[in-house]
Every structure is written in C-alpha cells, then in structure tokens.
Amino acid sequence: NAGVMQNPRHLVRRRGQEARLRCSPMKGHSHVYWYRQLPEEGLKFMVYLQKENIIDESGMPKERFSAEFPKEGPSILRIQQVVRGDSAAYFCASSPLETGSPLHFGNGTRLTVT
C-alpha cells in the first residue's frame, strides 16, 4: 500500500528556469495539499486541490506559482522563473474525503535554486 509519492526527491534549477514537482496521493485519497518548508521551520500551507479543482490557494504566491490536479495523473506544483528564495522543501499530503482525517505526507522535493 504505497504512501504519498513525490518526485523528484531533489531538484536543482538555475535562476529563471521552471521547476515542476509531482505528487501522487495515497490510493483512495482524492484531496491533495501542498506545503513548503524552509530549514529549521514549520510547514506553511500553499494550496489545497481536489481532482480538477483548486479549493484553497490562499497560501500560494500570486505570481510564478501554480498547481493542478488533473483527472488523470499526479498533482503538479509548478514554479516559473525560479529565484533563490524559492529554495525549500516542498511537501505534498493527501487525505480521504472525510473531514477530521489526518494528512499523510510524502518525503518531499528539495528544490535548490542556484
């Protein structure tokens, strides 16, 4: 029973390039959440998606960042024209439909912008 799968585990991009982070939720989970974590800090919410819908993107920067969760395939967090301040660990979590359920996290993608 595979957990939340994220790839790549490590991603290095030069300033100005695009970064694409992928997340496959746990089997049976239809809700995906993206979080960002800086070293020695907590996790900050970015966006919450269901299949083909963005439910809450209140934590997502207005520019350069976008997310999708298509009907088929993984959820994608896309960062255009990356800057050094985008360097962080990006975690995806999934949950079942029922509210009051814990989030299950993947092992993250560590993005380094050079």
Partner 1 sequence: GESVGLHLPTLSVQEGDNSIINCAYSNSASDYFIWYKQESGKGPQFIIDIRSNMDKRQGQRVTVLLNKTVKHLSLQIAATQPGDSAVYFCAENLPNNAGNMLTFGGGTRLMVKP
Give me the residues that bind partner 1 (CB under 8 A), please: 4, 6, 31, 33, 35, 40-45, 48, 55-56, 91, 93, 95, 99-108
- Which residues have a Cβ under 8 Å from the Cβ of 20 and sit 6 or more positions away? 76, 77, 78, 79
Shortest Å, Cβ 16 to partner 1: 28
Token pair listed for 79: 């960062």
- Output 82 or 106, the one with its CB closest to partner 1: 106
Phi, psi of 99 (to 5 degrees): -75, 160
- Output 22 or 105, the one with its CB closest to partner 1: 105
Shortest Å, Cβ 91 to partner 1: 5
Shortest Å, Cβ 92 to partner 1: 8
Q: Is the peptide bond before 8 cis (omega within 30 degrees of 0)?
A: yes
| Buried-exposed string 3-36: b where 16+ CB fall within 10 A, e elsewhere | ebebeeeebebeeeeebebbbbbbeebebbbbbb
Shortest Å, Cβ 42 to partner 1: 4
- Output 53 or 62, the one with its CB closest to partner 1: 53
- Output 13 or 36, the one with its CB closest to partner 1: 36
